[in-house]
Amino acid sequence: MAFLFALVVCILVFLAVVSYVHYARRRNAGEGQGGYGGGHEKPSPSSKLPPGSMGWPYLGETLQLYSQNPNVFFASKQKRYGEIFKTHLLGCPCVMLASPEAARFVLVKQAHLFKPTYPRSKERMIGPSALFFHQGEYHLRLRKLVQGALGPDALRALVPEVEAAVRSTLASWDGRVMSTFQAMKKLSFDVGIVMIFGGRLDERRKAELRKNYSIVEKGYNSFPNSLPGTLYHKAMQARRRLQGVLSDIMRERRERGEPGSDLLGCLMQSASRGGDDDGAPLLSDEQVADNIIGVLFAAQDTTASVLTWIVKYLHDNPKLLEAVRAEQAAVREATDGGRRPLTWAHTRSMALTHRVILESLRMASVISFTFREAVADVEYKGFRIPKGWKVMPLFRNIHHNPDYFQDPHKFDPSRFQVAPRPNTFLPFGNGVHACPGNELAKLEMLVLIHHLVTGYRWEIVGSSDEVEYSPFPVPKDGLPVRLWRENRTVDRKGCESDNVEDIIV
């Protein structure tokens, strides 16, 4: 027993020494000269690293970050060091940026100097050819394809499908207590499936995709341990099955000679007809599958998180809820009391509801920051950002800064009656890597709010003030809510009643 203890101690000491040597080398590399190119200036000899603390060797300040609310961690750092500071997270030296100018510098003005970066395990799980892992020519051409499938004409055609998904989600919730976040994840998945496959996917295929995607999602943020039985191993197996299902769908479409005009069809046609100047195909079937799986990831959790917060914010602001209800009642009247479907034009008339969405995006800031990596030594405002360091624009810090949004912790949609200052409102990122599906996400939110406030009442079950991170911020337990149709009433025990005075809002 004593020998085993001594062996463990020796291993830990060895790992600590190796970690420190690795850290010291990384730090010395940062102190040295990086490569220069792309037309930017070499950092001056007098430039220095940003202020901040690096924490323990290798571990850095990761434990401090994950032992508390990450918003508190970043806010305290900004208060102490200013709008640019360094830290060490998840084994990587990082520079954090909390100003609109810095965000624009990294994401737009000098975007070629900062490449997107993700852990290798996550790239493998989604697929290394997915849109958001790349930059340069491949990224630009692929982005055009995705944007083409999400353009105004495509969204107009999608409104009935989105509305059908919303109606189905709310109908399955009616009279029950459910986790709002889980209900919204189902809705976002269904909308993503419609956007990717049009209305052409049979229920068997949809069930296969849902089942395997759910397994992949559970393993996405797990420790990348490939031993059989681990979440990561199960997720990678499910990921291979997902690719198999997608390959079958693509083969069947080719056999019918109908690739389709949906997103999958657009990606398939780019592969079949070729797109490069030398005639080489732009995408292989594996690359198409990587991007379809990537879109499913991008379309679900972030949108579901915002939808969950919208339900909470409306519930917590009764006067605002009634104003939104009045606006949506007028839209419902324009659809003959809901007997005719919503159209794109109807969604463009929801001015107050749109401001509620914008304020929800600002308040919740479900994308708190984004990861980039410096491809060369870069100087910014007299500070040097070494090549290889991670660079993280802090969207939440900008959204909650009183210099840009007065009384930032108050939910106030009226602030968006005037456009915010440039680069202060970045819920979908900015530059060439901004989310291409932002208009689809907002369409989903508008349609959900319309049917929620005109057809239903709801109450939050339990406390709703605590926040969980999984990894996006959502109210505790996903915000359990009891939902019922407008023409029903519910007593305090959740039983249906005919007494209108029993309605709980």
Q: Note the Cα 280 to chain centre separation in Å.
A: 33
Q: Where are the beta strands (DSSP E) in 168-269?
A: 177-179
Residue 428, pLDDT above cutoff 70? yes
Residue 167, pLDDT above cutoff 90? yes
- Domain membership of residue 395 (yes or no) is no
Q: Give residue 30's pLDDT.
A: 43
Higher pLDDT pick, 348 / 23: 348
Q: What is the pTM of this model?
A: 0.85
- Domain membership of residue 145 (yes or no) is yes
Residue 13, pLDDT above cutoff 50? no
- Domain membership of residue 242 (yes or no) is no
For the residues 139-154, what does the mean pLDDT come to?
A: 87
Gyration radius (Cα) of the chain, Å:
25
Q: What is the CATH number of the domain that holds 421?
A: 1.10.630.10
168: nearest Cα among 205, 214, 206, 215:
206
The 10s digit of each residue's pLDDT in 173-194 is: 999 999 999 999 999 999 999 9
Is 495 annotated in a binding site? The answer is no
- pLDDT > 70 in the chain, percent: 85
For the residues 134-159, what does the mean pLDDT come to?
A: 88
In this structure, the dihedral spanned by the alpha carbons of residues 448, 452, 458 and 460, taken in order and rounded to 10 degrees, is 20
Q: Note the Cα 457 to chain centre separation in Å.
A: 28
- Domain membership of residue 477 (yes or no) is yes
For the residues 200-227, what does the mean pLDDT come to?
A: 89
Q: Cα–Cα distance between 63 and 296 in angstroms, integer?
A: 31
Q: Give residue 45's pLDDT.
A: 55
For the residues 212-236, what does the mean pLDDT come to?
A: 89
The answer to which of 40-54, 332-346, 378-392, 432-446 has the lowest mean pLDDT is: 40-54
Which pLDDT band holds residue 500 (cuts at 50, 70, 90)? very low
For the residues 481-498, what does the mean pLDDT come to?
A: 64
Residue 443, pLDDT above cutoff 90? yes
For the residues 288-314, what does the mean pLDDT come to?
A: 93
Residue 420, pLDDT above cutoff 70? yes
* Domain of residue 154, residue span: 137-200+260-365+400-502
The 10s digit of each residue's pLDDT in 73-82 is: 899 999 999 9
| Residue 143 to residues 150, 232, 291, 339, Cα–Cα distance (Å) | 10, 29, 10, 37
- Domain membership of residue 370 (yes or no) is no
Residue 286, pLDDT above cutoff 80? yes
- Domain membership of residue 230 (yes or no) is no
Residue 278, pLDDT above cutoff 60? no
The 10s digit of each residue's pLDDT in 322-365 is: 999 999 999 999 999 989 999 999 999 999 999 999 999 999 99
- pLDDT > 90 in the chain, percent: 61
Q: Give residue 27's pLDDT.
A: 43
Q: How many helices and strands (H and E) does the chain possess? A: 17, 14
Q: Cα–Cα distance between 379 and 42 in angstroms, integer?
A: 7
Q: How many CB atoms lie within 10 A of CB 160?
A: 15
The answer to which of 9-23, 53-67, 92-106 has the lowest mean pLDDT is: 9-23
Which pLDDT band holds residue 63 (cuts at 50, 70, 90)? confident
For the residues 216-235, what does the mean pLDDT come to?
A: 88
How many structural domains does the chain have?
A: 1
66: nearest Cα among 58, 56, 74, 57:
74
Residue 4, pLDDT above cutoff 60? no
Residue 5, pLDDT above cutoff 90? no
What's the whole-number average pLDDT of the chain? Answer: 85
Q: Cα–Cα distance between 60 and 66 in angstroms, integer?
A: 12
Q: Give residue 94's pLDDT.
A: 94
For the residues 266-290, what does the mean pLDDT come to?
A: 73
Q: Give residue 29's pLDDT.
A: 42
- Domain membership of residue 66 (yes or no) is no
- Domain membership of residue 164 (yes or no) is yes
For the residues 250-278, what does the mean pLDDT come to?
A: 79
Residue 304, pLDDT above cutoff 70? yes
Q: Cα–Cα distance between 212 and 193 in angstroms, integer?
A: 14
